[in-house]
Structure 1
Amino acid sequence: RRLANKEKRQAELNENQEIVDYDNQPESIRRRNESSSINEQLLQRGLELQSIVSDGNCLFASIVDQASDLNVRQ
C-alpha cells in the first residue's frame, strides 16, 4: 500500500511540474503548441480549421460556411 501511495504522490508531483513548466513557457509558445494540438486532432477526424472574419456577422458566416460544405440548398 505504501508503494501505491508513493507512486500516486510521484505522479501528482510530475503532473504539478508539467503545469509549472507549461506556465513558465512564453505565451507565443503555448499558443503555438495549443494550435498544433488542435490541428492534429482535427486532421485525425478529416476536419480543418477555417478563419471567419469577426465583423459582427461571424456566427452567421460560420453557419454559411458549414452549410456550403454540406451542399445545403438555398
Structure 2
Amino acid sequence: MTETLRQVGDVQLIKGKLASEGLYNVFNVVTEELGFWFDEEIKDMFLNMSDNEFLDESRINFEIASFIGDTNT
C-alpha cells in the first residue's frame, strides 16, 4: 500500500516505495493520473502549500508528465 502524505480533493501526495523509495509523486485517485517523481525538497513544498496552490501545482505536474509521456511514444 502506498503511503499518502496529503490529500486535497481527488489528489494525493504519495511516498514512493521499492524502486521509487525516497521519491514522491502526486496521484489523482479518480482519473488515475500520475505525475512525475520528485525529491524531498519538492515534497516539503507540496506539504506547505495552501489547498489551492497544491491543486494548481499538481495540475501542472500532471500536464508535464503527460507531455513527457507523449514524447516517449
Q: Between Structure 1 and Structure 2, which shows a larger proportion of strand residues?
A: 2
Larger radius of gyration: 1
The TM tier, using the shorter chain, reads 0.3 to 0.5
Comparing both chains, which one has the higher relative contact order based on Cα–Cα distances under 8 Å and sequence gaps of 6 or more? 2
Higher helix share: 1
TM-score (norm 1): 0.33
So what's the TM-score if we normalise by structure 2?
A: 0.33
